[in-house]
Amino acid sequence: MRSLLTRGLTALVLVGSLAAVAPAAHAETVVVRDARGDVKRFAPNTDRDATISRAPRERSADITRLRVTHSFKRIGVGVSVRDLDPAATQVLDIQLRLPGGDRAFVSASTFDGRWSTFAAAGDAEGFRECQAWTTPRPALDRLVVTIPRRCLNRPDWVRTTVSLATIEGNERREIAFVDAVHQRIGFGESPLRYGPKVHVG
């Protein structure tokens, strides 16, 4: 399941517009709204190539809103979709840009309704594993990922980019339905584009 995503989907080029900052008590919050019906279907031909087509009827991976909250203790990333399916096999990838050139990433995946979350932070010299957890809220069609701020060396700000994939098929033939907060172009090696800075509240 991870071969297609790690080699291609996390290298997607993301472009788009962002919503205004909406401040909250004791935290800064940025809300980004994404168009409905912009999911893409990735059918792999090789490890680095896939047939890409539109899949506007796919609802479980269709991100409609991203909410990033940066408080003194934690960073919360809320991803709302059109119709969260607890039975679906999904992968949620979050990448964070931090001050001083540091980076962090979170990869959360689910199978049979159980979510597992891996996170790491660091720089060009190496990464260290971080604590993070994912909370599904099916009644709200939302996934919430929480990262303790201390694990990221208490950054003054973060910038994020997010993608969500629903995986169908089997090991011989996997199909990924993918959406991101910004419009994707496709497979490539270009750097990811990040959202605006979300400062600690």
Place of tokens 């539109």: 54
In angstroms, the CA 84 to CA 59 distance is 8
Place of tokens 């995986």: 167
Q: Over the Cα atoms of the chain, what is R_g? A: 16
> Whole-structure pTM over 0.95, yes or no?
no
* DSSP one-letter code for 139: G
Mean pLDDT confidence for 79-108: 95
What the block records as the tokens of 195 is 């959202």
Q: Among candidates 152, 20, 32, 140, which has minimal Cα distance to 83?
A: 140
What is the structure's pLDDT at 46? 74
Is residue 7 over pLDDT 70?
no
Q: Among candidates 118, 199, 122, 196, which has minimal Cα distance to 155?
A: 199
Q: 169: pLDDT confidence band, cut at 50, 70 and 90?
A: confident
Kindly report the average pLDDT of the chain as a whole number: 84
Looking at residue 78, its amino acid is G
What is the percentage of the chain residues whose pLDDT exceeds 70? 82
Task: Say which residues have a Cβ less than 8 Å from residue 145's Cβ, sequence separation at least 6.
Answer: 76, 77, 78, 79, 92, 94, 106, 108, 117, 132, 133, 134, 135
Q: Where are the domains of the chain?
A: 2-199
Q: How many CB atoms lie within 10 A of CB 154?
A: 11
Higher pLDDT, 180 or 10: 180
What is the percentage of the chain residues whose pLDDT exceeds 90? 67
In angstroms, the CA 29 to CA 22 distance is 5
What is the structure's pLDDT at 187? 56
What is the structure's pLDDT at 29? 96
HSE, side-chain direction, 13 A CA sphere, residue 170: 1
What are 21-57's pLDDT values in tens digits? Answer: 334 457 899 999 999 999 999 998 877 788 889 999 9
In angstroms, the CA 43 to CA 177 distance is 9
Q: 113: pLDDT confidence band, cut at 50, 70 and 90?
A: confident
